[in-house]
Amino acid sequence: MPNPKRRHSQQRSAKRRTHYKATAGTISIDPTTGEAHLRHRAHWIENKLYYRGQVVMEKQGKES
């Protein structure tokens, strides 16, 4: 395997990394509830898990 003959400087590494940026997630409005949420993610509203406008799961409360 070829290896570098000399060490690369920290500045050279930093120049390469300047193009990697964090992007903010896209926010959508749920068609059923009207709540804002991240796209392509399930979200909880009133003990119900919604995904694509449909209830996927309901949270079970403690029964006494």
List the one residue out of 34, 30, 25 whose CA is nearest residue 42.
Answer: 30
Q: Are 57 and 48 in contact (CB under 8 A)?
A: yes
Q: What is the pLDDT of residue 49?
A: 92
Q: Give 15-49 pLDDT, tens digit per residue.
A: 877 777 788 889 999 888 888 999 999 999 889 99
Q: Are 58 and 47 in contact (CB under 8 A)?
A: yes
pTM value is 0.55
